[in-house]
Amino acid sequence: MSPSADEREPSPVTRLVPRLLGRLIFRSATVHANRIVGPGLRLITLQGPQLRGLRWQPGDKLQIRVAPGLMTTRAFTPTGWDERGGRTQLLVHSLSWGPGSVWARKVDHGDRVDFIGPRRSLDLAALDPADTVLVGDETSVALAASWRPALCVLEVINGHSAQEMLEALALDAVAVERRDGGLHLDDMVAAMLEQAGPQTRFVLTGRERTIGSLLQSLRRAGVAPRRILAKSFWSEQRTGMD
């Protein structure tokens, strides 16, 4: 009995099409190192000739193909870019079981990485980092390390370990440990406003739900909307966010 159309192996041409499309869409690099730098945080170094000559600035991201499939990608924030040498580093939060975190835990020295970008995710060109408070969580550390704002206020799983890591990165930061029911959010708002001047800008990143709560608190505190820039990196209700 011959196999049905659904049971037949894909033809060589069918298998070849995604590869050809991938080569048209993606550039590639090689993993030079993948090391743990904090609880659930990995510093992944990529290198290769296709990283050379690409323009990058803080706030830009790379789309990395993290699993088989033409467009199974996740966005990661480089901490810096060696345009001439063809090297960049990604500081990746890898505690979840999503495809991006799984990729970060498994990828190893010598592995090929397909990527798109860099491309704009947050437009920080009009902001002075010396008078900006960056707010977020572990997924915001890479942005903080590359942009160096005046202050970072981050909600984290382990406050002590996170504070040690932030100090090692020479960041002026306050790590606020998450508590059930959002009981830590008032502490975050207090830290955000403590050193803020009348023109200080606030860049809110990280978890979508937290950003929504902090936006309400800032507005109640009289902070004008023009002083706030918000960009959610992840949500419990959505996957594959930029």
Give the model's pLDDT for residue 106.
95
**Shared domain check, 225 and 157:** yes
**Shared domain check, 86 and 179:** no
Residues 72-108: tens digit of each pLDDT: 899 999 999 999 999 999 999 887 788 999 999 999 9
Give the model's pLDDT for residue 13.
47
- Identify the domain boundary among 120, 151, 181: 120
The answer, yes or no, to whether residue 114 has pLDDT greater than 80, is: yes
**Shared domain check, 139 and 63:** no
**Shared domain check, 228 and 139:** yes
Buried b (16+ CB within 10 A) or exposed e, 184-203: bbeebbebbbeebeeebbbb
Say how many domains are in the chain. Answer: 2
CATH of the domain at 81: 2.40.30.10
Residue 190 within any structural domain of the chain: yes
**Is the distance from CB of 64 to CB of 114 less than 8 angstroms?**
yes
For the chain, the average pLDDT equals 88
Quick one: what percent of the chain has pLDDT higher than 70?
Answer: 88
CATH of the domain at 143: 3.40.50.80
Distance CA 189, CA 107 (A): 37
Quick one: what percent of the chain has pLDDT higher than 90?
Answer: 70
Residue 240 within any structural domain of the chain: no
Residues 147-169: tens digit of each pLDDT: 999 999 999 988 888 888 888 88
Residue 167 within any structural domain of the chain: yes
**Shared domain check, 176 and 91:** no
**Shared domain check, 109 and 135:** no
Residues 119-129: tens digit of each pLDDT: 999 999 999 99
Give the model's pLDDT for residue 22.
61
- Identify the domain boundary among 82, 102, 120: 120
Query: What's the domain range around 92?
Result: 12-120
The answer, yes or no, to whether residue 12 has pLDDT greater than 70, is: no
The answer, yes or no, to whether residue 178 has pLDDT greater than 70, is: yes
Give the model's pLDDT for residue 24.
74
Residue 30, both tokens = 């090689």
Write the burial class of residue 13 (CB in 10 Å: 0-12 exposed, 13-18 middle, 19+ buried).
exposed
Sheet holding 60-65, edge to edge: 73-76, 60-65, 112-120, 27-38, 41-47, 87-93, 78-82
- Identify the domain boundary among 61, 95, 120: 120
Residue 4 within any structural domain of the chain: no
Give the model's pLDDT for residue 70.
66
Residues 14-62: tens digit of each pLDDT: 555 555 566 678 999 999 999 998 778 899 999 999 999 999 999 999 9
The answer, yes or no, to whether residue 208 has pLDDT greater than 90, is: yes
Residue 78 within any structural domain of the chain: yes
